[in-house]
Amino acid sequence: MNALGKLSLILSLLCFLFTLGFKLALSGWIPFISVGFWFGLFFLLFALAINLQFLRSLLKSESLRFLGKSLLLLLASFAVVFFVNFIFYKKNLTVDITDNKIHSLSELSQALVKALPEPLYFYYFHVGNSKVRGFEPQVRAALEPYLALSSKLHFQSYSIFQRPDLAEKFKVGDEESSLFIEHRGRIQRLSGLDEASITNGILKVSKEAKRIYFLQSHDERKIEDNSTFGLKGMKEQLERLHYEIASLTNFDSVPEDIAILVMAGPRVRVSEADQSKIRDYILAGGALLVAIDPGEDHGLGPLLKSFGVEAQDVFLFTPEAQASQSNLLVLTHAGQSSHEVALGLAPGLNPALFISSSLQVLEQEGVKVSPVLEHLPNSVARSDIDPASSVVKSHSLFAALLSEGLNEGNNYFRVATVADSDFMTNQFFSRPGNFDFILSLVTFLSKDEDLLKMQSPVPETTYLILTQTQLNLYFLFFVLPMCVLFFLVALFFKLRKLF
């Protein structure tokens, strides 16, 4: 190649490199950038046009033959890699080389799936548009490790318009997509695609049933009441999750099969004798969920204080409520709580309480009290339900506390106190976050530790995060100059003998 051709070739290469560099630096294709591309193409064609003899010799050269063989070898390598991946895909085989096995199911998940006695179905519902259907491969990919473990697991995907009967059966809401598990007639909605969410969902529908008794002797809310402030909706939801729900008209004797005792909004004063019986049951290793409302003369102060909790007789308000909702509907959040119940709540779905009070933690020997739910900091505590009543300086804005401890016989007891009972009712239990909170409490109190402690492994990789502008500048002022320098040096040593 003559000197003019070499110079044209170098100019062509520089034009192409700087065109690419400016495109990345400016985050888009601007019309004037195409000038560099066309100049690069012109110099390349010019170099070849004035050196046709060089082009013919290049096509017959050993270097070109070597390049062709290298490309064939590279293509063969890609073919082998593709074939191996295809075989692994067809056989559902994976190799996880990460340090903490973040791409592998835990032993608990594997044992749980392999031990399932009957078929289990995953149902994915969507509204049918292309955007939402695009999520289906992600859902399948998350479920594939489970489906590969057992032929008893099945995945089915439907549009809610294609199968409205199934949408009604699973109580699919107005969201664009949702995922459910069904096993032996029990249904569980999944809130995530990580291993913890999926395995916990399988656990919830496959574990043996536990019985929850609702005390009904102090004018508590009724589990068969289908009115606005009854509990029938929550009862049916818990039964769908294989919990057995029963009412208890008195607590003279403790049922042998009791897993949790619930007192939902008592409005008649609980006698000292009844409180003593309930306290004895708890200290013998029992579990109590008590939801109390402000302004009610329930008389549970002594019982709650024996487990490190004081209910403050105040009313919580939201200062700037939306026009369509009452300012007595107060949102809550987990706050700084590290308790497993708080960690089990779905991110962004804050439980909402209606006509609630606040709770205070008391020092009590042998009892550990943990906040799991707090009212939002902008909530206001007032002395009466009248929004014009005086503001009370509350010692705390805790909405739910958990008391745990061991008695002298090493019996482990648990008590959950919530500063409202309306959140469990037919009107409010289906609000985003409310039933998740109820289920987290029930899971903890019934000692289903596997459901709460199952967590997804976290990768230990440290990432360098750059903005698009930083990435473009890095390419323009470091990568591009290094590439130009490399090619110039390579061309110099390759072509210097020809000058």
**Inside any domain, residue 73:** no
Whether 426 and 367 map to the same domain: the answer is yes
- Domain limits at 125? 107-200
Is the confidence at residue 18, as pLDDT, over 80?
A: no
Whether 385 and 474 map to the same domain: the answer is no
- The mean pLDDT value of the chain amounts to 81
What pLDDT was estimated at residue 208? 77
Q: In the chain, how many domains are there?
A: 3
**Inside any domain, residue 319:** yes
**Inside any domain, residue 102:** no
CA-nearest of 370, 375, 434 to 402 is 370
Is the confidence at residue 323, as pLDDT, over 50?
A: no
**Inside any domain, residue 440:** yes
Whether 304 and 447 map to the same domain: the answer is yes
Is 178 or 407 the better-scoring residue by pLDDT?
Answer: 178
399/332 Cα distance (integer angstroms): 7
**Inside any domain, residue 329:** yes
**Inside any domain, residue 228:** yes
Q: How confident is the model at residue 464 (pLDDT cuts 50, 70, 90)?
A: low
Task: Give the mean pLDDT of 47-59.
Answer: 74
Is the confidence at residue 353, as pLDDT, over 80?
A: yes
CA-nearest of 427, 285, 263 to 353 is 427
Domain finish residue from 200, 230, 265: 200
What pLDDT was estimated at residue 394? 58
Whether 226 and 251 map to the same domain: the answer is yes
Whether 332 and 475 map to the same domain: the answer is no
CATH value at residue 161? 3.40.30.10
What pLDDT was estimated at residue 491? 64
40/17 Cα distance (integer angstroms): 9
What pLDDT was estimated at residue 181? 92
Neighbouring-strand partners of residue 412? 406
Task: Give the mean pLDDT of 272-295.
Answer: 92
Whether 403 and 273 map to the same domain: the answer is yes
Whether 165 and 189 map to the same domain: the answer is yes
Rounded percentage of the chain residues whose pLDDT exceeds 70: 81
What six digits make up the tokens of 9?
Answer: 């070739």
What pLDDT was estimated at residue 452? 47
